[in-house]
Structure 1
Amino acid sequence: MTDVPPQWARGTASRQAHVALPPGAVEEEHGRDGFYGPASHLYRLHAPTAWTAVDGSAAHRAYDTNGLEPADDLWPTPLVGNHQVSVGVHRMVEGRSELLRDADGDQCVFVHAGSGRLRTEYGPLAYAPGDYLIVPRGTTYRFEPSVPTSLLVVEANRSRYRLPDRGLLGRHALFDPAVIEVPEAEAVDEVGEFTVVVKRNGRDTRVTYPFHPCDVIGWKGDLAPMRLPVDAIRPVVSPRYHLPPSAHTTWVADGFVIATFAPRPMETDPEALRLPFFHRNVDYDEVIFYHRGEFSSRAGIGEGFVTFHPTGLHHGPQPAARARDAAAVADADAGTGSAPRFADEVAVMIDAREPLHPGPAAEGIEVAGYVDSWTET
């Protein structure tokens, strides 16, 4: 049995976090280690995001990646990153003739739009919107889009992607590892001039072959490109308690995690919070890419947008999102409507332990006034 840390309670507070808040109060979680460490809940008279102004590098930011023109570049366009992780966008129309080999890190690719084939030396993987594609460091590959394609690319610098420990839920929770697809060997037996562009320490080296580099007739082992469709993810939920984002972790790497907010039932207990609780980032910078659906805690953020919440400032549901949810509940109570029972959204969250820094491309697609969307009028 594990030791139970001390639990202090002072003043007016709920006995159960995220349930039966004191009348007129809002709840904020002040926690450590990404919802895994020590935490306290503060019950406030005002939303901690109800600021009148924010000025500084810790301000929340949003980016509209739809403003990036498809360019068929070799590598993704970086948006934010640090020495352990880079988050970028790759938009292509026809793809490139060169093959690529990233010697700097594993790539986790999320397909936002488009379809086609990921050609790898292990064999091909078909892709479609909502697919995760893992390309291990050092793999030779290229994207062969059949229609214009838009990708979110998260590079793990000098690290590799692993499945998270599911703890008491067991290793088959959220998705069974058996649903992950790996390529069937498919040798390309062609002669000609083929170029592989190797990225090492952020710089390119071009290698030319007189034969197609994807000439593998077979392979075996436990390292390979992988495909995980988001529709195969079965989120763990509770009708009586709002689970933290860590419950939706999909991939882990050194210094960061990737979580998936997939369609899921909402809480039905009338005393339980339905929207994400207010919290302040203390140990992790948070980035969220919005793929599709109506995002329960956000208003004014559309598909293909990226939000960036650095450590230090509170965040949580925006006033417009809280008003939308409250109106739906009131209509249900009055018998004139039904409160939403389903969060119909798909979003990808990256939580990074070390501070993230916006890249040059981010400034050109930044959504003006995003931090002011929490200001209550």
Structure 2
Amino acid sequence: MTDALRYMSGFGGHFETEAVEGALPKGRNSPQRPAYGLYAEQLSGSPFTVPRHENRRSWLYRMRPTADHRPFTRYDGAKLFAPGTAKESLAPNRLRWDPPCDLPANADFVDGMVTMLANRRPEDLEGVAVHLYRASISMDRRVFVDADGELLILPQSGMLMIATEFGRLDVAPGSVALIPRGVKFRVEVEGESRGYVAENHGLPLRLPDLGPIGSNGLANPRDFETPVAWFEDIDDSTEVIQKSLGSLWTTTLDHSPLDVVAWHGNFAPYRYDLSRFNTIGSISFDHPDPSIFTLLTSPSDVPGRANADFVIFPPRWMVAEDTFRPPWFHRNVMSEAMGLIYGAYDAKAEGFQPGGLSLHNLMSGHGPDVESWRKASEAELKPAKIEGTMAFMVETCWPYLPTQFALDRAQPDYDNAWTGFPKAKLP
């Protein structure tokens, strides 16, 4: 076993890694007697018979089989995690939240998770949920596993040390981590950490097609980092909390399940440094649709319509001539949940804080507020760089529904951001 924290680069590549020499079998996946008495186990993130380029699976060689666990019982520790959405009808209003000041205190990553928005049911294998977390203590002798979907974790403040079945990831604000569906992990912190989690119940997130952009731009596959094999040999009680069909369940093992000594495959956790995203934009007039900022996408069954898009708005140059440069006023068929990791968002003058959240559901009119509109309309159009900011959006074709926790804490006057626009003067 090694304490080195090392990574392999490349999105969706087939990796092989072993923490003990000779633990990884050669030439076959499930030998009759794996080395050292290990157990061969396949973890599949896609149906067996999907096309080869869509097939996601890894072979794990572990000290005990995952099947060795006692029955699960209901877990009631994280009362605000996946509580269901509000029962009342949702008005078609724009919504925005300050960073909640009453997220659970003295809690770890699981107990400090609070669901804000959700759509679809996990058993539909479609849709996405958006959570906030506040973790002030490390997960101690417990791990979490989400059978409902993959988790895209976005720290907003504080480093996360994530130990998974596949290896370990250090994830700081400005980076993201993805934990695939069904992978067990533990989150450790030093001090308090806050951030966002997007839970994708649909097809796994992947890099978008580049089309006319060509072979380079946006997120490059080589910049995604997957951990090398690492394991725990601990014979002590460990709680497993599992999210399944929208509820939380618990059981206790007599050992740590992070005991994978070697693995190979293309279904594994990874991290990505958002500063490596190569933004593409206009160098003449107008600017492209916000889809040009897509880092990862989860397709739906309708070509071109995303179950979920993860979109970022990083530092970038703005150079287009005779062009209103912030996002224009718009309505569309996608629903937008936006968060802010640091800095200020260029389409809002105030009220949108790091750690906060906003929701513009499908066909709700939105865009810059009055102050941002006036400033952009009167600006001298010369090359300018947007700096010191990182906003993101989890966009989906399914309308979001807030939880009751979220509805009770929404800013009461967000719609006022669009009052006071002067009437156009016709000849």
Distance in 2 (alpha carbons) for counterparts of 1:211 and 1:172: 45
Q: Is the 8 A contact 2:218 2:294 kept in 1?
A: no
For the structure 1 residues 316 and 113, does the alpha-carbon distance in structure 2 shift closer, same or farther, using more than 3 Å as the test? same
Distance in 2 (alpha carbons) for counterparts of 1:106 and 1:175: 19
Please state how far the C-alpha of 1:340 moved relative to its aligned partner: 3.9
Query: After superposition, where does 1:161-240 map in structure 2 within 5 Å?
Result: 161-240=205-284
Q: Is the 8 A contact 2:131 2:198 kept in 1?
A: yes
Distance in 2 (alpha carbons) for counterparts of 1:109 and 1:209: 26
Question: What 5-or-longer segments of structure 2 have no aligned partner?
Answer: 1-89, 121-126, 301-306, 422-427
Amino acid at match of 1:116: L
What is the alpha-carbon root mean square deviation over aligned residues?
1.9
Q: Secondary structure at the match of 1:239?
A: coil
Please state how far the C-alpha of 1:188 moved relative to its aligned partner: 1.0
Q: Is the 8 A contact 2:148 2:244 kept in 1?
A: yes
Please state how far the C-alpha of 1:123 moved relative to its aligned partner: 0.7
Q: Secondary structure at the match of 1:236?
A: coil
Q: Is the 8 A contact 1:262 1:345 kept in 2?
A: yes
Please state how far the C-alpha of 1:171 moved relative to its aligned partner: 4.5
Picking from 308, 333, 336, the partner of 1:256 is 308
Q: Secondary structure at the match of 2:265?
A: coil
Please state how far the C-alpha of 1:339 moved relative to its aligned partner: 7.4
Picking from 78, 83, 87, the partner of 2:130 is 87
Q: Secondary structure at the match of 1:321?
A: helix
Q: Secondary structure at the match of 2:237?
A: strand
Aligned to 2:405: 361
Picking from 344, 348, 351, the partner of 1:294 is 344
Please state how far the C-alpha of 1:70 moved relative to its aligned partner: 4.2
Q: Is the 8 A contact 2:287 2:320 kept in 1?
A: no
Aligned to 2:394: 350
Please state how far the C-alpha of 1:239 moved relative to its aligned partner: 2.6
Q: Is the 8 A contact 1:296 1:343 kept in 2?
A: no
Q: Is the 8 A contact 1:68 1:365 kept in 2?
A: no
1:276 aligns with 2:327: yes
Distance in 2 (alpha carbons) for counterparts of 1:158 and 1:203: 17
Q: Secondary structure at the match of 1:372?
A: helix
Distance in 2 (alpha carbons) for counterparts of 1:196 and 1:322: 50
1:244 aligns with 2:279: no
Distance in 2 (alpha carbons) for counterparts of 1:371 and 1:150: 27
Distance in 2 (alpha carbons) for counterparts of 1:226 and 1:69: 27
Q: Is the 8 A contact 1:268 1:341 kept in 2?
A: no
Please state how far the C-alpha of 1:141 moved relative to its aligned partner: 0.5
Give CA-to-partner distance per residue, 1:259-298, whole Å, 9 cap, x none. Answer: 11111101242x12212111112x1111110111221111
Query: After superposition, where does 1:90-105 map in structure 2 within 5 Å?
Result: 90-97=133-140, 98-105=142-149
Q: Is the 8 A contact 1:67 1:365 kept in 2?
A: no
Please state how far the C-alpha of 1:305 moved relative to its aligned partner: 1.6
1:319 aligns with 2:370: yes
Please state how far the C-alpha of 1:326 moved relative to its aligned partner: 4.1
Please state how far the C-alpha of 1:130 moved relative to its aligned partner: 1.4
Q: Secondary structure at the match of 2:405?
A: helix
Q: Is the 8 A contact 1:293 1:344 kept in 2?
A: yes
Distance in 1 (alpha carbons) for counterparts of 2:216 and 2:191: 34
Picking from 345, 348, 355, the partner of 1:304 is 355
Distance in 2 (alpha carbons) for counterparts of 1:251 and 1:268: 26
Aligned to 1:267: 319
For the structure 1 residues 256 and 89, does the alpha-carbon distance in structure 2 shift closer, same or farther, using more than 3 Å as the test? same
Please state how far the C-alpha of 1:210 moved relative to its aligned partner: 1.9
Distance in 2 (alpha carbons) for counterparts of 1:327 and 1:273: 10
Give CA-to-partner distance per residue, 1:175-209, whole Å, 9 cap, x none. Answer: 21111011111111112111111111122332322
Aligned to 1:108: 152
More deviation, 59-68/116-125? 59-68
Q: Secondary structure at the match of 2:416?
A: helix
More deviation, 182-191/342-351? 342-351
Distance in 2 (alpha carbons) for counterparts of 1:68 and 1:322: 33
Distance in 2 (alpha carbons) for counterparts of 1:57 and 1:95: 39
Amino acid at match of 1:366: A
Q: Is the 8 A contact 1:70 1:93 kept in 2?
A: no
Give CA-to-partner distance per residue, 1:298-352, whole Å, 9 cap, x none. Answer: 12122112111112221111111122334542xx8xxxxx874335421111111
Q: Secondary structure at the match of 2:347?
A: coil
| TM-score normalised by structure 1 residue count | 0.78
For the structure 1 residues 339 and 235, does the alpha-carbon distance in structure 2 shift closer, same or farther, using more than 3 Å as the test? closer
Distance in 2 (alpha carbons) for counterparts of 1:348 and 1:156: 15
Q: Secondary structure at the match of 1:220?
A: strand
Amino acid at match of 2:134: R
Question: What 5-or-longer segments of structure 1 have no aligned partner?
Answer: 1-55, 333-337
Amino acid at match of 2:341: H
Query: After superposition, where does 1:43-192 map in structure 2 within 5 Å?
Result: 57-71=91-105, 72=107, 74=110, 76-83=113-120, 84-97=127-140, 98-192=142-236
| TM-score normalised by structure 2 residue count | 0.70
